[in-house]
Structure 1
Amino acid sequence: MIRLPQLLLNATFAIVAWGQSSSNASTFTNPILSKGGADPWVIRYDDWYYMTYTTNDDVTLLRSQVLTDWDSAESKVIFTPPPSLNYSTDLWAPELHHLDGAWYIIFTADPHNDSPSPEVDMYCPYNCPAVYHRMYVLEGHGSNPWSADFVYKSQLNTYDQFAIDGTYFQHASGLYHIYSCWYTQYAAWPANLCITKLENPWTVSSPFSERQIISVPSLPWEKTPYGRVENDRLSSNEGPQQLINEKTGQQFLVYSAARSDNRNYCLGLLELAPNGDPMNPSDWRKHQYPVFYQNPSESAYGVGHASFVKSPDGSEDWIVYHGMQDPNNGWSARTIRTQRFSWNEDGMPSFPKPGYGPYQDPSGQ
């Protein structure tokens, strides 16, 4: 065997190592926030990414110039509710929106740490710990969300019924509130998707008689356990998010289905008919299979509650979501991840299998 001089051999190793380092510098691995988290909402504004997620006790805002590393992000609490109010505990799934020149954060909360008294719980056919959860709105004014001062604005009317995971749906016909709801005040299950028309970001204009249910968990993968038939307990549609195909103009609603603390949590898809009315349930078409779901080969389970954002140069679409590696640990096991997605020829979003990477960094990062 021909032996290279040691100096040349060392130089060869150095070149290879440099090449590996250079390649690795342009990749990332999931999760993108190592301390854990759930219900991520990310937007991009003026060269910054902004994230909110469930912290339970407050609304925390993070900002980062890269999408794939939130451990190094700046962070500040922008709202801590006073005690003993209807929205003082269990703050879930905050979302940050820029509407009509102002910043709005929509979130859900309750007054009793998710624990109704026996006098209330007895009305539910199944245990209903979230019976007091309602939707609330913060308003902020400023050139960007980081400099805005947020104040409590209002409760969003959900007719004194359970409401979680609310989002704004923007349409040519106006602004709408879509959220997870029950049929009645004490129904407990299933959790459906409801829609109401808004007068402005904090005021519902629809009377209760016009509230519409646009999706119920009717398919096997929307139920927990999979395909449950004897009752609707743990059957859920929640976490709705608007997604628009910018090339075709198709309007989608991506939502989470099944149960958020176990392996079967996944994403489903509703599509609004061309020129459809968001308040008309028959104008929404549910796709019969989940579009994003567990990947046991990579121990990626319970993937759901997503938001969508562009790469820094605007050329790519990215999904930000939570998932778990060990489904036996339930909600505490959730961490926040991101991956690139694309579009099919029919205009449908095409999501990848969830995993940990390494993946190529977003374009322009």
Structure 2
Amino acid sequence: MKRLMSRLLAAALLLPLLAVPAQPATASTPFRNPLNPGADPTMTYFNGAYHLATTLGDRIGIWSSPTLAGLATVPERTVWRDPDPSRNKQVWAPSIHRFVRPEGPRWYIYYTASDGVDANHRNYVIESEGDDPRGPYHFKARIADDGEYAIDGEPFVHNGTMYFAWSGPGRGMGGPQQLYLRRMTSPWTTTGNRVALPADGGCHEVREGPTGLRGPGRLFLVYSTCDTGKPDYQLWMKSIADGADPLVLSNWRQHPGPVLARNDAAGVFGPGHNGFFRSPDDTQDWIVYHGKTTSVYTYEGRTTRAQPVTWNSDGTPNFGRPLALSATQAPPSGDPWASQEPGATRSYVSAEQRHHFDRAPDGMLTHWWWDPVDRTVRRDVWGGPIAGRPVGYPVGAEQHVFARTPDGRLRHWWWAPGGSVRQEDWGPGLAGDPTGMVTANGQKHVFGRAPDGRLAHWWAEPDGSVHRDTWTGGDVVGNPVAYAFGDEQHVFARGSDNSLRHWFWFPGIANNLPGLDDWGAVGRVHSDPTGFAFGDQQHVFYRTADGSVEHRFFDHGDWALRTDNWGGAVVGSPFAIRQGQTQQVFARGTDGALWRLVWRPGGSVTADRATAGATTDPVALAWRDETHVLARGADGTLVDWHWQPAGGAAPTSWGGQVAP
């Protein structure tokens, strides 16, 4: 933790928003493997969502989620089922790629299929109708067909030219499976003679699943060896320098030994058949692969896992060792906003569903959710009565919601798949709306203003035990906002002098006591703060006395606190989210309109408005590549404003009644 000292405040300057740094901290939802129960995974990130495909046998399906953690619970979307019986069985190993064509960008899925006889496997490709990896698709071609068994084909680009790599029998001269290469003339055609690429592998029977990874000055071709049913199925690697011809065998370098292999201590066996994808902010490489939890020879139990790729000083990739399923990982850099940014809110995404919690006019805790499967809104009541506004966050497939009771107690509701809503009392001492976050160690944290103006803190351990302390100082008014920043906890609130107060805690802090510093802005903070962590920066927004939105942010890179004003004419408390690299603030306008203030990398802050305004303070969420803002409409119902990229929003009533 790099503590912000008050002496920095004298250096705070009115400057434009800094560019987002290239190495973000981990402030998004932690995840654990597996991501999917399937094998032979391929993954890409596009338009605000991860898109994953695995072997399904009779079809090609894609799972899409705005967060990596969400892939574990989202439904499959079937994108291709071939009616041709000569190629609609034993459908294996899809691989997703995007190429720009004269008619526009198109997605191509390369896969292996047969008529039910293994020896008749060939490589095929389907093409999307538009620029969406979720389809729809149409059949395009059989590709690189030499009249014999061929599987695991996919393209790579080197020196600006496309090549197709696949696995077939013979090692070019008889014997077990071998890798082959051929130049491509389009995403669905190849030309010239095939070239057999010799490849080491620690065993004799298989060389398959060749996948390209671009490194500094070189292309790395990572492939699987041994029988995938064996615990020793593993990844090996060859590489070629930029400028060298891949069809000249002597240009390839064989790297010794496996680059990803079984990890008995972690209970991971047979890691292989991988893909690569870039993090949402395009700063990290990640590997997706399948593995098993048994050393028994079997094709069953292979599940999809992901972990980051680092780069050695010599420019080679380092895949590390396959992680245990119990290992908690930070998500890819720039993983889109989920529930922990800016922390607990009334709206969040869970299992691809959009959820909102609010107080009804009769004081009951009411829950709305939108299901993408049937595209309908449902509503139920979780209990009550409550006072103020509730907040919540998902924890894996569970949903947790907190609210203040009329007598000032903190109440906790939670739901898990297959069960009913449960609740418990976390005790007295709450005078305002709660906020909170889930930390990487599985603790659930809740903060709120106590009756004496101090900051009250509750937390639950993974074993369910609830604890409480008070974070002293602050003289808080209104409602705080909290978020995680790596393994740190940060809370911001408005002081009685209308200043911005900041509490922080990190492992190893002196005496295990939270720190408190002053972010200044005395007399300027006239609303509850909102904010998030992004990259190596911490961002906080609030309404000033003149109704404009002010922004303070601390950059850990140069250790400076800065301030700028985003404009606007708003009332109430704003709400800020990060969506990819875009930062957005939403608030009610003094004229009844709903304002959106947006900053994108390389640009300045822009503003637009929706003419139909909210009658309560809005909250926003990112769902796939969409932005949704929810608040009470003029008729008292819950309204979802789907904000358009070019500006303006399309409102849809979710029904029910929300307390003013």
Q: Report TM bin, short chain.
A: 0.7 to 0.9
Cα distance, 1:95–1:75 mapped onto 2, change above 3 Å? same
Distance in 2 of aligned mates of 1:160 and 1:185: 14
Matched, 1:90 2:60: no
Distance in 2 of aligned mates of 1:173 and 1:320: 25
Check conservation: 1:43, 1:96, Cα contact below 8 A.
yes
Cα distance, 1:104–1:26 mapped onto 2, change above 3 Å? closer
Check conservation: 2:266, 2:323, Cα contact below 8 A.
yes
Greater strand proportion: 2
The structure showing larger relative contact order (alpha-carbon pairs under 8 Å, at least 6 residues apart) is 1
3-state SS, counterpart of residue 70 of structure 1:
helix
Check conservation: 2:28, 2:330, Cα contact below 8 A.
no
Identity of aligned residues (%): 31
* Counterpart residue type for residue 79 of structure 1: W
Distance in 2 of aligned mates of 1:174 and 1:316: 24
What's the counterpart of residue 168 of structure 1? 155
What's the counterpart of residue 170 of structure 2? 183
| Cα deviation, residue 73, structure 1 | 2.3
- Picking from 101, 106, 121, the partner of 1:133 is 121
* Counterpart residue type for residue 260 of structure 1: T
| Cα deviation, residue 280, structure 1 | 1.1
Matched, 1:213 2:216: no
3-state SS, counterpart of residue 181 of structure 2:
strand
- Picking from 321, 325, 332, the partner of 1:362 is 332
* Counterpart residue type for residue 204 of structure 1: T
- Picking from 270, 280, 292, the partner of 1:312 is 280
Distance in 2 of aligned mates of 1:212 and 1:150: 30
Residue correspondence of structure 1 range 13-162 to structure 2 within 5 A: 26-33=29-36, 36-85=37-86, 87-100=87-100, 101-111=105-115, 113-114=116-117, 130-146=118-134, 148-162=135-149
| Cα deviation, residue 332, structure 1 | 1.1
What's the counterpart of residue 321 of structure 2? 353
Check conservation: 2:261, 2:322, Cα contact below 8 A.
yes
3-state SS, counterpart of residue 131 of structure 1:
helix
| Cα deviation, residue 291, structure 1 | 0.6
3-state SS, counterpart of residue 330 of structure 1:
coil
Distance in 2 of aligned mates of 1:216 and 1:296: 25
Gaps of 5+ in 2: 1-25, 336-660
Distance in 2 of aligned mates of 1:91 and 1:186: 27
Matched, 1:195 2:167: no
Cα distance, 1:44–1:134 mapped onto 2, change above 3 Å? same
What's the counterpart of residue 18 of structure 1? none
Check conservation: 1:55, 1:92, Cα contact below 8 A.
yes
Distance in 1 of aligned mates of 2:72 and 2:318: 28
Cα distance, 1:316–1:290 mapped onto 2, change above 3 Å? same
| Cα deviation, residue 74, structure 1 | 4.2
Cα distance, 1:308–1:332 mapped onto 2, change above 3 Å? same
3-state SS, counterpart of residue 313 of structure 1:
coil
What's the counterpart of residue 126 of structure 1? none
Distance in 2 of aligned mates of 1:172 and 1:186: 29
Check conservation: 2:44, 2:50, Cα contact below 8 A.
yes
| Cα deviation, residue 338, structure 1 | 0.7
What's the counterpart of residue 456 of structure 2? none
What's the counterpart of residue 263 of structure 2? 295
Residues paired across the two proteins, number: 304
Distance in 2 of aligned mates of 1:284 and 1:185: 16
Cα distance, 1:186–1:88 mapped onto 2, change above 3 Å? farther
Check conservation: 2:171, 2:196, Cα contact below 8 A.
no
Check conservation: 1:321, 1:338, Cα contact below 8 A.
yes
- Picking from 217, 240, 243, the partner of 2:213 is 243
Check conservation: 1:54, 1:93, Cα contact below 8 A.
yes
Distance in 1 of aligned mates of 2:318 and 2:261: 12
Distance in 2 of aligned mates of 1:197 and 1:186: 20
Normalised TM-score (structure 2): 0.44
Matched, 1:335 2:335: no
Greater helix proportion: 1
Check conservation: 1:312, 1:362, Cα contact below 8 A.
yes
Larger radius of gyration between Structure 1 and Structure 2: 2
Distance in 1 of aligned mates of 2:59 and 2:172: 26
Cα distance, 1:157–1:313 mapped onto 2, change above 3 Å? closer
3-state SS, counterpart of residue 359 of structure 1:
coil
* Counterpart residue type for residue 89 of structure 1: K
3-state SS, counterpart of residue 151 of structure 2:
strand
Distance in 2 of aligned mates of 1:254 and 1:270: 7
* Counterpart residue type for residue 108 of structure 1: T
Q: Which digits, 9 at most, give the CA deviation of each residue in 1:303-361, with x for residues without a partner?
A: 00111112222222211110000132611110011111200010000111112211222
Check conservation: 1:68, 1:338, Cα contact below 8 A.
no
Distance in 2 of aligned mates of 1:310 and 1:211: 30
Cα distance, 1:280–1:173 mapped onto 2, change above 3 Å? farther
Distance in 1 of aligned mates of 2:187 and 2:270: 31
Distance in 1 of aligned mates of 2:75 and 2:283: 25
Distance in 1 of aligned mates of 2:170 and 2:297: 30
| Cα deviation, residue 251, structure 1 | 0.8
Matched, 1:266 2:270: no
Distance in 2 of aligned mates of 1:195 and 1:343: 26
| Cα deviation, residue 214, structure 1 | 1.1
What's the counterpart of residue 226 of structure 1? none
Distance in 2 of aligned mates of 1:296 and 1:284: 32
Check conservation: 1:191, 1:216, Cα contact below 8 A.
no
3-state SS, counterpart of residue 282 of structure 1:
helix
